[in-house]
A and B are shown apart, each in its own frame.
Chain A
Amino acid sequence: MAVQDIKFYQTGTFTVGNRLLGEHERSVQSDMRRTNSLNSGHRACQGCGEALGARYAIDAAMHATNDRVMAVNATGCLEVFSTPYPETSWQIPWIHSLFGNAAAVASGVAAAMRAKGRKDVRVIAQGGDGGTTDIGFGCLSGMFERNDDVLYICYDNEAYMNTGVQRSSATPPAARTATTMAVGDEPGNTFGTGKNVPVIAMAHYIPFVATASVANLRDLEDKVTRAMAIEGSRYIHIHVPCPLGWGSAPADTIKVARMAVESGLFPLFEAEQGEITARYKLRRRVPVEEYLKLQRRYAHLFGKNPDTETIARIQAIADKNIRMFGLE
């Protein structure tokens, strides 16, 4: 009798339903004891990828440290929507200082914990892509090279959303922002600009670097959990769609995030001491067009006369990622 392997759709991922897993393998969010570190009631927009990513990341970190996490937040959406005082969503010790110094302030908090002999208390710094890849980049690099005991989490929504969707060095080519308008000969953001901070983080040879996506929250939890088990400087770069800035439907946040991953535009990988140790192999590769079409920031590429040349250039970026990170 011919035997055919049964192929479950979710094999090889962490998105399997919790009920099918052993108790110790279930997600943090499914745990009755989850800390809700970023509690409900905050002011994030509908479908905010950053709020989702932060909740999963911080709860996972709390779970991994016996609830001993302190967070330092850069100025930005996450800071503003979470602390409209006298209300705060944070159930953990939390400090916001400035836009560009979250990594350094976190270094200070970590140093204070060392001075106090509190090895059990762990420090997380977090910010958006502007606070991380642009204005906070100097402090971030300093924190990395000193190998300070901090996990830095960048919630990357690919522009300055808090100030009204301006370009950052994480804004992808052709994307329309308030400072890269969809006008002129090369509408949207310029090709050949921007930087890959996860790769730059790897170049510091820090103990752990990972990219993650709100499209794969179990993977995100897992990466945060493993990061918290490591001492020294760690970096997790989470792709978080912004419905407001990207012009995507709030209900499509996960879908958009998944398209970014499955198209190869946002590679999921992890690295230890500068060496890539794991990557997410694309399961159902999609052309970038499917990803771009969901977002009004790319609307100028479509319509009656689609800009096939620009779409092809973006596809080439995805193809290069797939080769470079070995995603197939």
Chain B
Amino acid sequence: MLKQIEGSQAIAEAVALCRPQVICAYPITPQTHIVEGLGEMVKSGELEGCEFINVESEFAALSVAIGSSAAGVRSYTATASQGILYMAEAVYNASGLGLPIVMTIGNRAIGAPINIWNDHSDSMALRDAGWIQLYAETNQEAADLHIQAFRLAEELSVPVMVCVDGFILTHAYERVDIPTQADVDAYLPPFEPVQVLDVAQPVSMGAMVGPEAFFEVRYLQHHKQERALERIPALAKEFKERFGRDSGGLVRSYRCEDAETIVVALGSVNGTLKEAVDEMRERGEKVGSVAIVSFRPFPLDAVRDVLKGAKRVVVLEKCLAVGVGGIVSDDVRKALSGIALAGHTVIAGLGGRAITRTSLVEMLERATKDELKLLEFLDLRWDVIDRELAREKSARRAGPTAENILRDVGPVAARIG
């Protein structure tokens, strides 16, 4: 059914259609509306057979889900930013135990300085924790990916994060086609766990594993993700057959066929990026873009296939690996191993800094003229940086950086970006 609906509410409705049996909720912006929506559905009786638990921390949220998933019921939670760091230990634990929990990440920056706005630092920090990570481009895809995520998670017995850009998607009202319960039921069979706490067949789970077996257990997590590389496109195909639209998959390319310059990005910025690509195409520039939907597992072959004919690749990243530059870039370069083409990393949008079409077009112009450096920072205010560096040089007790810069910039709440 078509609805004009907030992203978070669309996600909540999609999750509800998946018939979760335990939902653990802890508030953190910008994820909160999702669990609020689910909480209302459980309390009103609209979502039956589901336990909704208000926990005391994100660490507890995922821990409760670990317990309920191990006891054999479909389990869901959502978090963001500081929350995913606070539960980091449990994030590794859930995947190590092979528990098919689905968790939404309302992508948000990590402090300090504290910041509630969107970037990808949070989920990227846990990219190697053994979870599958899917990044949604639109709210329609965000909703659809959750349905695919439960199926994928339970098929492989591996946890899945669905990463949704905070505010840009979670708080945006868009047209979303909410599937019918019958279609979701047909697509997503009831949860049949491969391991379960059961008084009829007692097992011990979470035993101490030494050097004799740890390596193999860890390898098998990698093996699961390799299998996911096959299952993700297959599930997207099956999804299209049933629901009639493209959602998910490993990567999605836009006007890449003859492109000399290709921009790679994750999440909602792909929408803006496509418009910038169109503008460049109108000027006759051979430019295309690629959305990576599945960041874990990273689709090396698919990325290689789409990029191999280009002259240069620009990886547009909403996260900064402090001290080196890009995170996604490293994986893209791995995909291009042995292929000689120019590669650039453009860090953009940190802490919610808007990534505008104008800036993207300017960046693409410079890219096509081979003017981009190896590492670039889109719309970084160098005047502010220079002033702070000068201040730090002038006095030992220069004071706290963030507060100094805020004073320089002045009251800007009304014109973020």
Contacts and interface: CB of A to CB of B under 8 A. Distances in A.
B208 A138 contact: no
Given A92-B202, A107-B53, A138-B59, A79 B72 contact: no
A95 B202 contact: no
Contacts of B72: 112, 116
A90 B207 CA distance: 11
Interface string B189-209: 000000001110011111111
A95 B93 contact: no
Interface residues of A, number: 44
Nearest to B20: A115
A121 interface: yes
Contacts of B202: 90-94
B43 to A, nearest CB: 15
Contacts of B24: 108
B55 interface: yes
A104 B197 CA distance: 16
A98 B326 CA distance: 32
Contacts of A121: 199
Interface stretch (A11-19, A64-72, A268-276, A312-320): A64-72
B263 interface: no
Given A104-B59, A112-B73, A85 B207 contact: yes
B50, B64, B69, B205: which has the most chain A beta carbons within 10 Å? B64
Nearest to B209: A85
Q: How large is the interface on B (under 10, 10 to 19, 20 to 34, 35 or more residues)?
A: 35 or more
Interface in B28-60: 49-51, 53-57, 59-60
Contact of B56 (A91, A100, A109, A138): A138
A107 B22 CA distance: 11
B270 interface: no
B97 A111 contact: no
Given A68-B199, A105-B63, A80 B208 contact: yes
A139 B56 contact: yes
B208 A109 contact: no
A93 B206 contact: no
Given A88-B207, A112-B73, A139-B56, A98 B199 contact: no
Interface string B67-84: 111111101000000000
Contacts of B90: 97-98, 101
A36 B75 CA distance: 32
Given A69-B199, A97-B90, A101-B59, A108 B204 contact: no
A101 B63 contact: yes
Contacts of A142: 55-57, 60
Contacts of B22: 108, 111-112, 115
A115 B49 contact: yes
A105 B66 CA distance: 6
B275 interface: no
B53 A139 contact: no
B11 interface: no
Contacts of A72: 67
A104 B205 contact: no
Contacts of A90: 202, 204
Interface string A259-299: 00000000000000000000000000000000000000000
A139 B60 contact: yes
B316 interface: no
A84 interface: yes
B55 to A, nearest CB: 6
Nearest to A90: B204
Nearest to A145: B56
Given A98-B63, A101-B63, A113 B71 contact: yes
B204 to A, nearest CB: 4
A114 B51 contact: yes
Contacts of A34: none
A94 B68 contact: no
Contacts of B57: 138-139, 142
Nearest to A73: B206
Given A79-B208, A80-B208, A108 B56 contact: no
A111 B53 contact: yes
Shortest 9 CB-CB contacts between residues of A and residues of B:
A108-B67, A142-B56, A112-B71, A104-B63, A96-B206, A101-B63, A105-B67, A108-B64, A85-B207
Interface of B: 21-22, 24, 49-51, 53-57, 59-60, 63-73, 75, 89-90, 93, 97, 197-199, 202-209, 213
29 contacts: A72-B67, A83-B208, A85-B207, A95-B204, A96-B207, A97-B63, A97-B206, A98-B89, A98-B90, A101-B59, A101-B60, A104-B60, A105-B67, A107-B64, A108-B53, A108-B63, A108-B64, A108-B68, A108-B70, A108-B75, A110-B67, A111-B53, A111-B73, A112-B22, A115-B73, A116-B73, A138-B56, A141-B56, A146-B55
Given A70-B199, A104-B59, A121-B199, 8 more contacts: A80-B208, A95-B205, A96-B204, A107-B63, A109-B67, A111-B68, A142-B60, A146-B54
